[in-house]
Chains A and B, each alone.
Chain A
Amino acid sequence: MKHLRAVNHKARRIQEHIENDVVAMQGPPTPAGQRPHVPMGCSIVFSPGWEVDSSGGTAGLCQPVERDLYDCYISCYWPAQVPDHMNNYPDWTAKCAAATKDWRNIDLVFP
């Protein structure tokens, strides 16, 4: 953190929590065996860790937010807030090899 200085112990713990979470999302994925099992899908299958985490933020999600993109794009029949893969925009993510890095290449679509 640059614009807040953690002063007491608790503030340092909050800082660690924030920084580790952000770092974890950018770093290599944890080996499969160590990952908690989290069902994928959206609210229809009661997936936890969706959109916001239990603290109201995105840092502590059990899956990176980018997951959301692919789940809605590829596997869901429900009209979602992303272009659909099935019929209209099969190439939407063609330039995006790894969502955490290349998400900027995904363009807006104008139906």
Chain B
Amino acid sequence: MNFRLGEFHAFSGGGRRFLYTVPSAGIFELDDTSAAVLARLSQGEATQEELLAAADAETIGELYQARIIATTEAFVDPPQPLPDNFPLQTMVMNLTNQCNLSCQYCYEFGEDKVATPEGKPKFMDFETASASVDYLFTQSAGRHGVHITFFGGETLMNFPLLKKVVDYAKQKAADQGRAIDFSLTTNATLLTPAIIEYLSANEIGVTVSMDGDKASHDKFRVFANGKGSYDIIEPRVRELIKEHKTRPIVARVTMTSQAMDVLGTYRHLKNDLGFHEIGFAPVTTSPNRLYSIDNRGLDSVLDQFGVLASEYLDHALRGEHHGFSNVSDTLAELHQGVNKSHPCGAALGLVGVGPSGDIAPCHRFVDSDTHTLGHVSTGIDKAKQNDFLSRGHIQVKTDCRTCFARPLCAGGCHHEAYVRYGDTGHPNLHYCDWIRGWTNICLEIYGAIAAQNPDFLRHFSDRKAAA
């Protein structure tokens, strides 16, 4: 019986040596003895006697128990069945599928849309909304807190319904002695002082879709007549950030081939406008669209992410907040050691509900006949849900089998996969280099914080990592 290296990703941070164990997602720091064992095994397999020349039995035992080294006898993890019943935690409610902007890249209306809204209601009514809330509460039995995210279309085009839902859901939570919180995503065009006051008073978290300064933002985020929306939203966003005191205000940036200036965008949104956090995501598109980011573009984006990430690290070492949420989100997951069977909570702890009351795996699949899982009045069709979840399970994604990033990535967004490959369960192979590069950057930051300012990691202990 020989020993060999187990599965892990080695990285360093703050001058120390760490391992990210895969797929368990543990992070361990090595000392000289354990590092010597790994150095020996990286030259090839070794017998126990040969290993004992490099280190004592105790070290070898520890490495073996933690599965950092393994024996050459093949061992296959038994497949894990899907949970029968996974309580809901989050419902994304599309209050309307109408929008007052016409962003060319939009996944709801753009060229790659999956939605088939023809003949369906354009605005959700209160009956459907209250049935959705009821559904959320019954299906989340056993959880104390639940969450509703309002979405669109443009969410604020149905603001009167939003207010009613908040009242109804709060009452329901109070009756059951449970907790509920709310957030919404908006393009900010319809914000008024009264709405802002309402959102702040009700502690509703706000994410603004915004792509950067005027030049970047107005490339795609335009009205139907082609006019950019920056000038309309800029004063509203400033007002929102100034007056909404109860929750952090987040900007969500969609990157395209024509807007890849991560650093400039971050500086503008953070320093000029004052957003608390800024998250970036590349546009979801089929590869032939003009705005799709090619590999060279992704490399440049990753470089810029790296610059912002090292700024984040400098802040963290001083114990200060930095608003680059792509880093903080990943660090939170690394800190917990999440090890995902599925890329996200879609169709597990999270569902999207369309204006008609149809249930979809998440907001991006809302109003798509192909992906409907059921209706709030009748519940989810288990067979459809199982089909969606079995396809999306990391164990069936053969391409991911040896990837060190799989505990976090798990193949990536189901919707992105559908747009690219026509199958929600296809791994998003066009992003792998990027995902692995990014995961490594975040691991190095995590390691450096763990070595030099471990107290900072406490911020992540209370934070909920994604389901």
- Residue numbers of A with Cβ under 8 A of B are 1-11, 13-15, 18, 54-57, 59
Q: A5-B31, A13-B337, A56-B67 are in contact. List 16 more A-B contacts (CB 8 A).
A: A1-B66, A2-B31, A3-B31, A4-B30, A4-B34, A4-B68, A7-B28, A8-B25, A8-B446, A8-B450, A10-B336, A11-B27, A14-B21, A15-B66, A18-B65, A54-B78
Give 1 or 0 for each of B46-63: 1 = CB within 8 Å of chain A CB.
000000000100110011
Asked whether, in the complex, the Cβ of A56 is within 8 Å of the Cβ of B75, the reply is: yes
| B-side contacts of A15, CB under 8 Å | 66
Contact of B29 among A4, A10, A56 (CB under 8 A): A4
Asked whether, in the complex, the Cβ of A1 is within 8 Å of the Cβ of B62, the reply is: yes
Most B C-beta atoms less than 10 A away, residue of A13, A18, A56: A56
| B-side contacts of A6, CB under 8 Å | 26-28
Asked whether, in the complex, the Cβ of A11 is within 8 Å of the Cβ of B335, the reply is: no
Q: Does chain A have a CB within 8 A of B310?
A: no
Asked whether, in the complex, the Cβ of B58 is within 8 Å of the Cβ of A10, the reply is: no
Q: How far is the CA of A80 from the CA of B443 in the complex (A)?
A: 48
- Give me 5 A-to-B residue pairs in the complex whose CB atoms sit less than 8 angstroms apart, sorted by A's number: A4-B34, A4-B66, A7-B27, A8-B334, A11-B21
CB nearest neighbor in B for A10: B337
Q: A9-B336, A55-B67, A56-B75 are in contact. Are A3 and B33 (CB under 8 A)?
A: yes
Q: A3-B58, A56-B75 are in contact. Are A8 and B66 (CB under 8 A)?
A: no
Q: How far is the CA of A56 from the CA of B67 in the complex (A)?
A: 9
Contact of A14 among B24, B78, B334, B450 (CB under 8 A): B24
Contact of B28 among A11, A54, A55 (CB under 8 A): A11
Asked whether, in the complex, the Cβ of B66 is within 8 Å of the Cβ of A18, the reply is: yes
| A-side contacts of B63, CB under 8 Å | 3-4
The majority secondary structure among interface residues of chain B is mixed
Q: How many residues of B contact A (CB 8 A)?
A: 37
Asked whether, in the complex, the Cβ of B335 is within 8 Å of the Cβ of A9, the reply is: yes
Q: How far is the CA of A13 from the CA of B336 in the complex (A)?
A: 10
Asked whether, in the complex, the Cβ of A14 is within 8 Å of the Cβ of B34, the reply is: no
| A-side contacts of B339, CB under 8 Å | 10
Q: With both chains docked as a complex, state the minimum distance between the C-beta of A19 and any C-beta of chain B, in angstroms.
A: 9
Q: How far is the CA of A59 from the CA of B68 in the complex (A)?
A: 15
CB nearest neighbor in A for B78: A54
B32-87 residues at the A interface, CB under 8 angstroms: 33-34, 55, 58-59, 62-68, 70-71, 73, 75, 78
B163-214 residues at the A interface, CB under 8 angstroms: none
Q: How far is the CA of A54 from the CA of B79 in the complex (A)?
A: 12
Q: Does chain A have a CB within 8 A of B18?
A: yes
| A-side contacts of B70, CB under 8 Å | 56
CB nearest neighbor in A for B32: A3
Q: With both chains docked as a complex, state the minimum distance between the C-beta of A77 and any C-beta of chain B, in angstroms.
A: 27
CB nearest neighbor in A for B465: A9
Asked whether, in the complex, the Cβ of A2 is within 8 Å of the Cβ of B26, the reply is: no
| A-side contacts of B450, CB under 8 Å | 7-8
Asked whether, in the complex, the Cβ of B337 is within 8 Å of the Cβ of A3, the reply is: no
CB nearest neighbor in A for B29: A5
| A-side contacts of B29, CB under 8 Å | 4-5, 7
Q: With both chains docked as a complex, state the minimum distance between the C-beta of B14 and any C-beta of chain A, in angstroms.
A: 11
CB nearest neighbor in B for A21: B65
Asked whether, in the complex, the Cβ of B25 is within 8 Å of the Cβ of A10, the reply is: yes
- A-B pairs, top 7 by smallest CB distance, nearest first, are A10-B337, A11-B26, A5-B29, A3-B34, A56-B75, A8-B27, A7-B27
Q: How far is the CA of A13 from the CA of B28 in the complex (A)?
A: 12
Q: With both chains docked as a complex, state the minimum distance between the C-beta of A22 and any C-beta of chain B, in angstroms.
A: 8
| A-side contacts of B33, CB under 8 Å | 3
| B-side contacts of A8, CB under 8 Å | 25-27, 334-337, 446, 450
Asked whether, in the complex, the Cβ of A4 is within 8 Å of the Cβ of B62, the reply is: yes
Q: How far is the CA of A18 from the CA of B70 in the complex (A)?
A: 15
Q: How far is the CA of A59 from the CA of B64 in the complex (A)?
A: 10
| A-side contacts of B336, CB under 8 Å | 8-10
Q: How far is the CA of A3 from the CA of B60 in the complex (A)?
A: 9
Give 1 or 0 for each of B444-467: 1 = CB within 8 Å of chain A CB.
001100100000000001000000
Asked whether, in the complex, the Cβ of A57 is within 8 Å of the Cβ of B65, the reply is: yes
